[in-house]
Homo-oligomer: A and B are copies of this chain.
Amino acid sequence: MRIAILGCGNVGSALVGILQDRADALAVQSGARFEIAGIAVNDLSATRPPHVPVELLTADAQRLVADPSVDLVVELIGGLVPAEELVRTALKAGKPVVTANKALLASPEGVQLRHLADERGVDLLYEAAVAGAIPLVRALRESLTGERIHRVMGIVNGTTNFILTKMSEQGADYADVLAEAQALGLAERDPTADVEGFDAAAKAAILAGVAFGYDVAGDEVMREGITAIRAVDVEFADRFGYVVKLLAIVERTGEDALSVRVHPAMVPKSHPLAGVRDAFNAVFIEGEAAGELMLYGQGAGGLPTASAVVGDLIDATRNFLAGASAPAPDRQPAHLLPESDLQTQYYISLDVIDRSGVLATVTKAFGDNNVSIRSMEQEGYAGEARLLFVTHVAREGDIQATLQALSELDIVEQIGGVMRIVGDPG
């Protein structure tokens, strides 16, 4: 089985190492010996680990993919250009593709590539694109394929989970922990893709396809990052029995409708997702018959990601040799729930003037907008008070109207933290 590897960064060089070290075991498992036909790179002269065979490097990825002796393509370049064109070329030539490229898969072009693979009956496998080493995509596509899934929600971005874990365990501020994460190499110098939820949104879009067969692109995903979270909100969450996590949520909201979203959420401490610390990932799945499942592991890193690529490589090879391809979901265009129709619980913190009658005025604003309060705490300061509310399940549109009404009250000095609550009995 001659494979072309496109890209030779952390994941690519880890993959080359595994293919060398585990050659015999992989041959037994896949039914064929893997032979690296070539490794396409941008810069032939860059420094690489000594185990990467220099004689296999090439700058001409297009030619490598088109080489008739190449049976299978592993795409580890990332981004849309030139990855999209290369993957398309491979699929059209009937060559299975294994990719870790979440940006590509979550783009409208990526949706088209998935359709192309289905039509041609050629494998396009991407276990490594969501939650790294966690065998999530295969679990959803194979083990749970007969399952009616209600909701998939996950911690799918290690950087933000590291930041939120430190904020929670050390009472630290967002900016300080971000700086620490950058110093440790866990956050990019420009952290936008992680902290604003773009990375998680791409993964949510891919999960909508795998778990529900819906075609969703990353930019269709409702998205809110973690930059506005204050240390004090994390502390209040703790006091109420919650932990703050950035969640990617794909939820069936009707026979034909889906809510796909990324936002910070308060998760009850007793929920399995609450215990997922540092840069680890985990995905919680709720199915009709299977009940609650969670898959946990390393979401990033060269070796873990390469491990997921190897699983796909074996799968694609076995299918290729059998003349088959992996099962494809019954794909359909997505009917996405309008953001204002989302139903969830909320935490809201308000700074108000400490005056009699304030509570009545404030709670009236909730009631007027059909938002029912589940619990309230009041803290007094000199002349001021802070009110902490947890609501029952309410419509997002009603919550927004409530916040608007509250902001117009002169007794409300500031609307502090506002956060959705997920995973509670309600």
A211 to chain B, nearest CB (A): 13
| Interface assignment of A179: CB less than 8 Å from any CB of chain B | no
Compute how far the CA of A341 lies from the CA of B171 in the bound complex, rounded to whole angstroms: 45
| Interface assignment of A28: CB less than 8 Å from any CB of chain B | yes
The segment from A18-26, A231-239, A371-379, A390-398 found at the interface with B is A18-26
Cβ contacts A110-144/B at 8 Å (1 or 0 each) = 00000000000000000100000111001100111
- Copies of this chain, tallied across the complex: 2
A138/B146 contact (C-beta < 8 A), A28-B330, A293-B296 known = no
Compute how far the CA of A258 lies from the CA of B425 in the bound complex, rounded to whole angstroms: 43
A148/B22 contact (C-beta < 8 A), A142-B138, A327-B29 known = yes
A290 pairs with B296, CB closer than 8 A: no
Residues of A within 8 A of B (CB): 14, 18, 22, 25-26, 28-30, 127, 133-135, 138-139, 142-148, 270, 272, 275-277, 280, 282, 287-298, 301, 303-304, 306-308, 310-311, 313-315, 318, 322-324, 327, 330
A65 to chain B, nearest CB (A): 23
Known: A145-B314, A293-B298. 9 other contacts (CB 8 A): A25-B146, A29-B146, A29-B327, A282-B294, A289-B306, A290-B297, A290-B308, A294-B294, A294-B296
Report the nearest B residue to A138, measured CB to CB. B143
A-B contact pairs, 21 of them (CB 8 A): A18-B146, A26-B146, A29-B330, A30-B146, A127-B143, A133-B289, A138-B139, A139-B139, A139-B143, A142-B142, A144-B307, A147-B307, A272-B276, A272-B296, A280-B292, A289-B310, A290-B303, A293-B298, A296-B296, A314-B327, A322-B323
By DSSP majority rule, is chain A's interface helix, strand, loop, or mixed? mixed
